[in-house]
Amino acid sequence: MEAEHLSVVSKLPADDILTFLSSICFLFADSARRMRVERSSPVKGSLAEQVVLPCYFSILPAHPDQLRIKWTKLVGDEEIIVIVTQNGFLKIGPEFKGRVSITSHFEDVGDASLTIERLRASDAGAYRCEVMHGIEDTQESLDFCFVAGVVFHYRSSTSRYTLDFERAKQACIDVDATIATAEQLHSAYEDGFDQCDAGWLADQTVRYPITRPREGCHGDMILRPGVRSYGLRNSSETYDVYCYVGKLQAEAREECERQDAILASPGHLHAAWRAGLDRCDFGWLSDGSARYPISLPRQQCGRGQLGVRTMYRFLNQTGFPLPSEKLGAFCFKGKVCLQ
């Protein structure tokens, strides 16, 4: 079993340490109605892949057209429609169109499990499955979906567009990540990822995501938002790269040197950001870059934008800061325990 820790060394007091907790939502029942609940465990998926949220029920009416299946996502006090079906009628919420389905012939098998494809980070959260027969016979369950993984843009320490295809793949490996797939980049784009820099992907294509069309970022889509593509490129051409990193179990600890830790890599930091790490001061990373993660938007930290912010030496966003810069550091520790 592996336990991993990410910590921060900064110019702030040593006791200014953040601890990250993950919580799990459990099934519940509304006692005001006659209800049966089938329990299920939290479901984990990865960016751009698919998950199945289980919903098994024991209501098997004589007339299947009387059975109504409703899946909703719970966001605060609001319920967002995912999919509703009854007697051949089907309604799908706009955020899930083309990406969700429920088990075929659910009325015969007592299975209304929900499949979500092309997962986005924003798909994470609590989902309610409601099986209704009339107004009094109802079965509900609440499933929790966790989506791991984050895509990030990466370039060399020297300047923009210096990586051929092989060096691009290695650059991602060197920062504890892998080169992203086109599907992963598109899922990140659907959640608002915007980057006006062409980068390699795993299929040897070169693309970049634009949610806010602007001069110099048109690509092959002019003024439309979308993922711009240069198509399949010769492996000797040079661009930046888009990397992908999966889940990182992380929590804040003491200073690196006190814990015999190492400088965190950009991959570690992006994974910790996805898990909720928020820090508004630059810190050194293992590749010589300086970055900080923002999970709570505020104007003084990255102009109100979420993500991992990078310090560049030059105005054209190239070059890492000089080693003489007085900054904090992000640290990482992995410990293997044999049981």
Q: What is the mean pLDDT of each run of 10 residues along the chain (339 residues)?
A: 46 31 29 49 90 84 74 93 91 96 83 94 92 75 86 90 97 92 97 95 98 90 92 98 73 47 85 89 87 91 88 83 80 47
Q: What is the pTM of this model?
A: 0.71
pLDDT at 65 (0 to 100): 64
Range of the domain at 293: 1-20+250-339
- pLDDT, position 30: 38
Query: How many CB atoms neighbour CB 209 within 10 A?
Result: 25
Which DSSP symbol is given to 163? B
Q: Does residue 203 sit in the same domain as residue 226? A: yes
Domain end among 228, 244, 260: 244
Claim to verify: residue 12 and residue 101 sit in the same structural domain: no
Same domain, 161 and 232: yes
29 domain-assigned = no
pLDDT at position 129, please?
92
DSSP category for residue 95: G
State the number of CA atoms in the 13 A half-sphere of 192 facing the CB.
5
Give the domain CATH number at 87: 2.60.40.10
Residue 189 near residue 47 (C-beta atoms within 8 A)? no
Measured distance CA(32)–CA(91) in Å, rounded: 27
Looking at the fold, whether 172 and 211 belong to one and the same domain comes out as yes
What pLDDT, on the 0 to 100 scale, is given for residue 59?
A: 65
**171 membership: H or E segment, kind and range:** helix 165-174
Residue-wise burial string across 222-250, b where 16 or more C-beta atoms lie within 10 A, e elsewhere: eeeeebbbbeebeeeeebbbbbbbebbeb
Q: Do 75 and 125 belong to one domain?
A: yes
Residues 210 and 187 in one domain: yes
Same domain, 216 and 186: yes
User: Would you state the structure tokens that stand for residue 20, as one six-digit string?
Assistant: 């990250």
Interior CA angle at 252 toward 298 and 15, to 5°?
Answer: 85
CA quadruple 320, 323, 326, 332: dihedral sign: positive
pLDDT for the residue 254? 36
pLDDT for 62 equals 61
- 56 lies in a domain? yes
